[in-house]
Amino acid sequence: MDFQLFMNDVVQAGRKEMTEAGYQELKSADEVDELLNKPGNTFVMINSVCGCAGGIARPSAAYMKNYEVQPDNYVTVFAGQDREATERVRSYFEGYEPSSPSFALLKDGKIQTMIERHEIEGHEPIEVVQKLEKAFDQYFK
C-alpha cells in the first residue's frame, strides 16, 4: 500500500471521528478568527495522526460532548493537515508551545488552560477525561 494513501485514510478517519462526535472542523485562519472573536467558551481539540490522538485524545474529546458542563463551541483543527487553521488557532494559545494532540479551553478567545501532548501520551483515556472534566468545571461553569 502506498504510504500517502495510508496516511490519507488515517487522516480521514481522524477527521470523521471528531465530526461524528459533534465537533466543528476549522480549516482556515478566517474560520478560526470568526469563531474565536465571538463571545463564549470554546473547547479546541488539536487533532493529529499520532497514535495517542487515535487511542486517547479523540475518544476523550468525544466523551466530553456528554459531560454536564458544556462550552458554547466544540471545534477541531488537524495539525499537519490544516496548517493555516492550526497555526492561527495556536496564535491564541499565548504561553504554550505547539503540541499535538492537545486540548485548549478558551473564554472569549482568550486561552484559559491547555492539556498538552505530554499530559495525554502514555496516560489512560480515563485519566485524560478526568483532567478535562476538572478543567471544564474550573473554566466553563
Give the range of the structural domain holding residue 99, as residue numbers without chain letter.
24-139
The domain that holds 57 is classified in CATH as 3.40.30.10
pLDDT in tens, 20-63: 999 999 999 999 999 999 999 999 999 998 887 888 999 999 99
Report residue 14 as a C-alpha cell.
481522524
Query: Tell me, what amino acid is at 141?
Result: K
52 is catalytic: yes
Q: 50, 57, 61, 106: which is the annotated catalytic residue?
A: 50
Packing angle of the helix pair 29-36, 83-90 (nearest 10 deg): 40
Q: 52, 62, 69, 111: which is the annotated catalytic residue?
A: 52
Q: Is residue 13 included in any domain, yes or no? A: no
CA dihedral 133, 98, 37, 63 (to 10 degrees): -30
Report residue 57 as a C-alpha cell.
485524545
pLDDT in tens, 73-108: 999 999 989 999 999 999 999 999 999 999 999 999
Q: Is residue 68 included in any domain, yes or no? A: yes
In contact, 116 and 58? CB cutoff 8 Å: no
pTM of the model: 0.94
Q: Is residue 11 included in any domain, yes or no? A: no
61 is catalytic: no
Q: Is residue 12 included in any domain, yes or no? A: no
Q: Is residue 14 included in any domain, yes or no? A: no
